[in-house]
Amino acid sequence: MKLDIINMATFYGCDRKGVEFGPKVLLENNLESILENCNHKINKIIDIPVNYNHTDKFKENKQIKYFDEILTSVKLLSDEVYKSYSENNFPLILGGDHSLSIGSLSGFSNFFEDTGVIWVDAHGDLNTPSTSPSQNAHGMPLACSLGEGHPKLTSLFKRKINPKNVFLFGIRSLDKGEKDFIIKNEMHIYDTNSFNLLNHDLMISTLKKYVEKNKIKNFHLSFDIDAFDETHVPGTGTPVKNGLYIDEMKSFFDKLLSSINIVSMDFVEFNPLLDKDNQTLNLCLDMLEFLFKRINK
């Protein structure tokens, strides 16, 4: 398939510098040829403009840091993602922090009907400005896509994503408001324990039945590398213990990707400045290669 690599070099959603270098470092370390060797063609590589000249993070909004900068960039990203689908390409969005998913999910849900989301993460990213303990937007993107959050962000979505069509994997750090939201909306959630205890074939066949019954034709995969166990990813800003290990992640995705139709993907929260001996870099490249060998549009 034809890939559009869309870089969003932002740290505004996590308020910790370094993560904006993720796309550059991945591309400098042969990501392009790795993807081409998976039998894909790179159609284009583009950068979403980010305004780095910010001084007061709470200037526009007391509850979301760097609000204007994030809003401007995610709008542009949403349009680029939409354009990529309309040209029948596969957008791969490289972060940067997870706030960028407000833009990618907006482009996704504006273009497609019958949508579902695979959310791989240690966190739920289901906070709203009033429930967020950190006021960092990278804890809010999934909530925005489901219609919860600042109106200027939720209005980027012409139609809300159905929370029941969201499948979360690797989740183990949830704030109170997020827990309440998941229970109220009957979301499909698998933490590390259920991921390790349940039979993966059974998990996927249950998922597949739901997908067929509810006619979900298109999935967006949002991959936050902090889903991995903290020992795997020194190069991420919010590592959490008791996470997923590389082998179980791969064996699961091997089965999942042959069962559902993925049309786009985010790959986020790689912070090269925090990495140790390129451990996280190598894991990211390995995982992207593994996934793109199995994703076919």
Residue numbers at the binding site for Mn ion (CB under 5 A): 98, 121, 125, 224
Residue 224 CB, nearest approach to Mn ion (Å): 4
Residue 52 CB, nearest approach to Mn ion (Å): 22
Name the residue nearer to Mn ion (CB basis): 69 or 121: 121
Instruction: Specify the amino acid at residue 80.
Output: E
* 138 catalytic per annotation: yes
Name the residue nearer to Mn ion (CB basis): 75 or 98: 98
Task: Let me know the angle formed at the C-alpha of 119 by 246 and 96, rounded to the nearest 5 degrees.
Answer: 80
Q: Please identify which of the residues 4, 69, 226, 229 carries the catalytic annotation.
A: 226
Q: Please identify which of the residues 20, 224, 266, 275 carries the catalytic annotation.
A: 224
Q: Please identify which of the residues 125, 148, 178, 275 carries the catalytic annotation.
A: 125
Q: Residue 123's closest CA among 112, 114, 131, 111?
A: 131
* 269 catalytic per annotation: yes
Residue 119 CB, nearest approach to Mn ion (Å): 8
3-state class (DSSP) for residue 120: strand
What kind and span of H or E run contains 221?
strand 218-224
Residue 125 CB, nearest approach to Mn ion (Å): 5
Instruction: Specify the amino acid at residue 31.
Output: L
Pair of tokens at residue 155: 């209005």
CA distance 78 to 261: 20
Q: Please identify which of the residues 121, 148, 191, 266 carries the catalytic annotation.
A: 121
Name the residue nearer to Mn ion (CB basis): 100 or 216: 100
Contacts of 196 (CB under 8 A, 6+ apart): 248
* 114 catalytic per annotation: no
Pair of tokens at residue 101: 């998913």
* 125 catalytic per annotation: yes
Name the residue nearer to Mn ion (CB basis): 6 or 126: 126
Q: Please give the positions annotated as active site.
A: 98, 121, 123, 125, 138, 224, 226, 269
